[in-house]
Amino acid sequence: MARDYYEVLGVSRDVSADDLKRAFRKQAMKHHPDRNKNDPSAEKKFKELNEAYAVLSDPQKRKQYDQFGADGFGQRFSQEDIFRGFNARQAYQEVDLGDLFGSLFGGLGGGRRGGGGMGGADFLGSFADLFGGGGGGPRVGGGRSRGRGPMGGHVQPPAEAQEMEIGLLEAVRGTERAVSLSMPGGPTRQITVKVPAGIEDGKRIRVRGDADGFGDLEFRVKIRDEGGFVREGRDLVHEKRLKLTDLLLGAALEVEAPDGTHHTLRLPAGTQPGTRVRMRGFGLGIGKDGKGDLFVKVQVELPRHLSDDDRKLVEELRARGW
């Protein structure tokens, strides 16, 4: 038999919306897994609280729950139906800051909006951090991310930095990756992770948690060499093979940089095989360190077979001491 949502929250069936909010937040604060790490039942209790509040805080869902009862409601509505439209972050933000933060933080300077000490905004930020909230897009950096959202479940992939492999050209130009997130007993959704142009191998991208109850995610970028470019730290090396006559007489070398732009390099007569020509700023890198460079490494490409006339010319050069 399904547990009664009113019983889970410890309220009467005629509870008002405001009293329901207060009861939910009081219970959520008490049973949050981060505050009960030694209690294996805390996470289950916390999920029950969120499920109960997701239903009873919605007038339409509450009406149907009252009509069908716990068992009947459970037969008609899936977990996805229950949490559809439920804004977990907002549920925590609408709290009476004085009551909540006074009990949570021991009354540090008063918690009501406009109060002294840590003001409402600061308290709210601390509370959002505690419950895995936050907003905004991806951020490149280090550190460990939170993997637990306001709903108390764990996102998939887990909180530890997950490896995200991209091609070198994607790293230079920037790209996006679609990631599916799921929460036990809760909704499943897909997010887009934006990879900034110039990111280096091993750097991390942090995606803040959102209002749907998913905590922070962190991805460690792994770059795969491609397009004939090889990484040397933030610098890139691209090998170009030229004819012997181009090295001897000089040539205009056409190069496509990893960002897709085209450039012409002028090689002087007598350029030696193995020469590296620098193209500044066409490597990897973000921020104050700036970008690395692209080095075009020139090599000679010799013919495998010579015609009789070609052989005579080469033999004549050798006879001249070449």
Same domain for 196 and 108: no
Residue 322 belongs to some domain of the structure? no
Judge whether residue 289 has pLDDT over 50: yes
Residue 27 belongs to some domain of the structure? yes
Most confident of 21-25, 99-103, 135-139: 21-25
What pLDDT does residue 183 have?
58
Pair 65, 5: CB distance under 8 Å: yes
Judged by average pLDDT, the poorest of 12-21, 128-137, 264-273 is 128-137
What average pLDDT does range 96-104 have in this prediction?
41
User: What is the Cα–Cα distance from 117 to 101, expressed in whole angstroms?
Assistant: 12
Pair 255, 238: CB distance under 8 Å: yes
Higher pLDDT, 111 or 312: 312
Same domain for 166 and 93: no
Residue 319 belongs to some domain of the structure? no
Q: What is the pTM of this model?
A: 0.49
Same domain for 160 and 107: no
Same domain for 170 and 155: yes
Burial of 210 (0-12, 13-18, 19+ CB in 10 A): buried
Same domain for 182 and 111: no
Residue 321 belongs to some domain of the structure? no
Residue 318 belongs to some domain of the structure? no
> What total number of domains does the chain contain?
3
Residue 312 belongs to some domain of the structure? no
E strands present in the chain: 138-140, 162-167, 175-182, 188-195, 204-207, 217-224, 229-232, 235-243, 251-256, 262-267, 276-279, 294-301
* Number of C-beta neighbours around residue 16 at 10 A: 10
Residue 317 belongs to some domain of the structure? no
CATH number of 78's domain? 1.10.287.110
What pLDDT does residue 69 have?
85
Judge whether residue 143 has pLDDT over 80: no
pLDDT band for 158, please (50, 70, 90 cuts).
Answer: very low
CA dist list (Å): 176 to 222, 274, 284: 14, 36, 17
Same domain for 126 and 86: yes
Residue 124 belongs to some domain of the structure? yes
Judged by average pLDDT, the poorest of 60-64, 89-93, 276-280, 294-298 is 89-93
Residue 56, beta-bridge partner list: none
Residue 66 one-letter amino acid? D
User: What is the Cα–Cα distance from 17 to 255, expressed in whole angstroms?
Assistant: 67
What pLDDT does residue 246 have?
94
Same domain for 150 and 76: no
Identify the domain containing residue 254 by its residue range.
Answer: 229-301
DSSP letter (8 states) at residue 154: B
Angle between helices 42-56 and 59-76 (to 10 degrees): 120
Task: Give the residue carrying structure tokens 């409402």.
Answer: 120
Most confident of 26-40, 46-60, 67-81, 184-198: 46-60
Same domain for 185 and 89: no
Nearest residue to 98 via CA among 118, 76, 113: 113
Residue 210 one-letter amino acid? D
Same domain for 171 and 91: no
Select from 86, 113, 130 the last residue of a domain.
Answer: 130
Judge whether residue 120 has pLDDT over 50: no
Same domain for 142 and 171: yes
pLDDT band for 88, please (50, 70, 90 cuts).
Answer: low
CATH number of 164's domain? 2.60.260.20
pLDDT band for 170, please (50, 70, 90 cuts).
Answer: very high
> And the tokens for 69?
């009862």
Same domain for 91 and 19: yes
User: What is the Cα–Cα distance from 302 to 246, expressed in whole angstroms?
Assistant: 11
pLDDT band for 214, please (50, 70, 90 cuts).
Answer: low
Same domain for 16 and 117: yes
Higher pLDDT, 265 or 26: 265
